[in-house]
A and B are shown apart, each in its own frame.
Chain A
Amino acid sequence: MNSHEISLTVNGKTRRSEVEPRVLLVHHLRDGLGVTSPHVGCDTGQCGACTVLIDGRAVKSCTVFAVQADGSEIVTVDGLTGENGGLHPLQKSFKEKHGLQCGYCTPGMILSAHDLLEKTPDPSEEEIRSHLKGNFCRCTGYQNIVEAVRHAAEELSERDAAMEVAR
């Protein structure tokens, strides 16, 4: 099968590779580039474990061919950072609120929540639950995930307010 050369910027590093046109982005990230944090939980685009940020938007990387992502900027959970290069408030909140158990859905869940907080900085519980409908978790019953997202939203808004004052 014909291969195509593509270029992806993954967590700030530009990587060139040859891929078959049928290879899914998630498989290319995992098997081709060795970035294994996007997980595969289904084969129908339902579970959200493979969610990554493509040019800032949360996308299920099993619904995109690697060649379609050519030239784009991809952020996985490995690439998230908070202030001074520490943990992102979402990463901190998930630990604080026990928002993960087996950890399999966690990278996708965090990036999906990231997407929500970009668009809706102060979401209600209902908005969070509604937004996370594309991501399955079989361990936590979602309650602590919802709490973690709420908590992160508060942290982020406090941070923004502090930055506002500093300006």
Chain B
Amino acid sequence: MSAIMDILLRLLAWLVLAPLVPGVINKVKAWVACRQGPPVLQLYYDLARLWRKGVVVSTLASPGFVIAPAVAWVAVVGAALLLPLAGAGTPVSFDGDVLLLIYLLALARFCTAWGAMETGSAFEGMGAAREVSYAVLAEVGIITAVLTLVVQSGSISLSSMFAPLPGPSAALLAVGLFIILLAENCRVPFDDPNTHLELTMIHEVMVLDHSGPPLAMILHGASIKLMLFAALLAQTVLPLAELPLAASVAVLALAVLLTAVAVGLVESLTARLAFRRVPLLLTIGFLFCLFPLLLTWMGDI
């Protein structure tokens, strides 16, 4: 019984808290630009509004156009439930669940790309192609980061994986995972989440023709994914398991908040990269994840 309560509680926390993260990011961006900015709860209002609207479906689209966002949303929520929080473990855990986490994220991306292709628009197909081709490079990085954790802790289960890394490795891995967070969640150096009229946009192209509840699911799923990556980054770097539960939850929440602020600062202070230079930054992110792997592999050099 308590396990079910645990799952429900976590589910509720993920679903309710996740839309705060983009709100915080937008507030930081507004603050840096000396603007008032949208309220922190703006995404909640948007989701409520979208949920009440109807859906416009292209005549070319199969039911997959509506199913794909739902599957993607469920996959991201499932991945979030797999992630242990603040050293308290997770109710759904088994050996090798980290692979399931990676595959669920990949499934979510596949479904977003699928939904984009369903519209039959060449523009959306182009966006899907861009998204997938960059995702390949980002995924190499995240798999390397996970390998680092596996080698460090000697375990392939997420709940016992977050053993504290030694200083330099943790610092390198934090930078690498932050770059991957920006790429995976389509934040500024890779993609601008606020523009809808650029030829260089990647992720926004794919959701251009979605409306109503499917769009709400895509937006909510994106915020959960952002929070998932922030929590993953925080737990990789900070030795949360050694703290008492309440303190570790507080530290985790603070770390996620700080990550959101950092994303907001990066978005305000850097310009989007030229399109052909995105692979270079992703390669750099991969290298930042590769060197901690070598450091842990070789011990003390």
To the question of whether A and B form a pair in one complex, the answer is no
